[in-house]
Amino acid sequence: MMPLRKKAERFAFSALILLAFVTGCTHGGTVHADKEQLRTTAMDSVSDPGTPADKAVAVSVATGKEGPDSPAGTKIPDVKPEKKPSETGEDPVVSAFPKVTEEPIPPAETVGGDDVDEFFDEAADEAPAAKVAVVETLVPDPFITFNRAMFTVNDRLYFWCLKPLASGYKKVTPTIVRKGVRNFFFNLGTPGRLVNSLLQGKYKGAGSELGRFLVNTTVGVGGVWDPAERFFGWKPSEEDLGQTLGAWNVENGVYIVWPFLGPSTLRDTVGKAGDLFLNPLYYLSPNELAWGLSGTEVINDTSFYIGDYETVKSTYMDPYVMLRDLYITHRKKKIAD
């Protein structure tokens, strides 16, 4: 029997020969594959070579021979196979990943002390000043909950009662009659306008009111017509006690919405109470007759303005605020006149 040591040497020698043979076959296959890939790329470039010179070079690379149109000195590049990790001595697992080069990280800039204060000071200087919208309140409204409730009540009364009555009244009553009724009630309000014109020192307006009352009551048949303005140009002064108090520098006070009466202020509420004693209807008896005439005046006046309230209400998101501001602005304008 052959010694065990010699058997081991022969087995190792046979394994080395087999390993060399396998390595050579694999290496040859890799080189062949690289050449085929290069030729494929060259043929793709022939299909769209660009310039004629590029085409010639591409053909030469694809065929492995210099073509007739190849420029002088054109060399066919030799494809050198990449070395395997086993040949370079590198670990095949490590070589499969890209190499990472370590670069030093620059030190971070620290901000502290005076630098922090300077940074925030510059930011404050560059930042634009914030604009705060200031909404001007025309009148104090501490009873807004009550006022909104009364606004809703009056709104329902208008749509459910007053508007239907005024619309029906307008359909059956000619315009000339409705104008005559309006002139009649306006003439009855002369005492209030006359007294308040005198209290405000508007003597010209007071004289106009006195002349209008005399002419319209007589020639105008109880004030149904208005010959004073038509023939003499005497216009009404339209003054009331609320305006008189405003002319005396009495403030509005708080905003109040009364049921049936509508928007008002504390000052105008006192003014309406005072004007009531200057209205001839207040002294009319029985009371039911005075109330009936007052209701007729309201319905007649509303017949001239049907649709105006609806338009204003549909224009604004919050009609309560709009009507409040509109009322205050209107009163200020009348006081300033």
DSSP assigned state of 143: T
Q: What is the pTM of this model?
A: 0.60
What is the C-alpha to C-alpha distance for residues 310 and 92, in angstroms, rounded to an integer? 88
Average pLDDT, stretch 249-276? 96
Question: Does 127 reside within a domain?
Answer: no
Q: Are residues 160 and 251 in the same domain?
A: yes
Is 202 in the same domain as 58?
A: no
DSSP strand pairing (255-258 vs 262-265): antiparallel
Residue 185 lies in a domain: yes
- Residue finishing a domain among 53, 75, 97: 75
Whether 96 maps to a domain, the answer reads no
User: pLDDT higher for 118 or 325?
Assistant: 325
Q: What spatial distance separates the first Cα and last Cα of the chain, rounded to whole Å?
A: 142
Residue spans of alpha helices (H) in 127-189: 144-157, 163-172, 175-188
For residues 65 and 169, state if they share a domain. Answer: no
For residue 112, how far is the Cα from the chain centroid? Answer: 42
Picking from 21, 56, 75, the residue at the C-terminal end of a domain is 75
pLDDT score recorded for residue 25 = 44
Q: Which residues contact 45 (CB under 8 A, 6 or more apart)?
A: 54, 58
In a domain, 105, yes or no: no
- Dihedral angle over CA of 58, 63, 69, 75, nearest 10: 70
Residue 59 within a domain:
yes
In this predicted structure, the answer to whether residue 264 has a pLDDT above a threshold of 50 is yes
Q: Which domain holds residue 21?
A: 4-75
Q: What is the CA radius of gyration of the chain?
A: 53
Going by C-alpha positions, the residue among 290, 262, 299, 3 that lies closest to residue 151 is 262
Q: Of 36-45, 204-213, 216-225, 306-315, which gets the smallest average pLDDT?
A: 36-45
Domain count, the chain: 2
Mean pLDDT of 210-234: 95
Tell which of 75, 99, 130 closes a domain: 75
Question: What is the C-alpha to C-alpha distance for residues 118 and 135, in angstroms, rounded to an integer?
Answer: 36
Provide the pLDDT for residue 27. Answer: 44
Tokens of 24: 């050579």
> pLDDT > 70: what percent of the chain?
60
pLDDT band with cut points at 50, 70 and 90 for residue 137: confident
Q: What's the confidence (pLDDT) of residue 233?
A: 92
Q: Please tell me whether residues 152 and 287 are part of one structural domain.
A: yes
Q: Does 28 share its domain with 158? A: no
**Per-residue confidence (pLDDT) for residue 84, from 0 to 100:** 52
pLDDT at 327 over 70: yes
Rounded to whole angstroms, how far apart are CA atoms 188 and 214?
A: 12
- In the prediction, which pLDDT does 30 show? 43
For residue 79, pLDDT over 80 is answered with: no
Residue 92 located in a structural domain: no
Summarize pLDDT for 81-101 with one digit per residue, the tens: 555 545 555 555 445 445 555
The answer to whether residue 107 sits within a structural domain is: no
Are 241 and 330 within one domain? yes
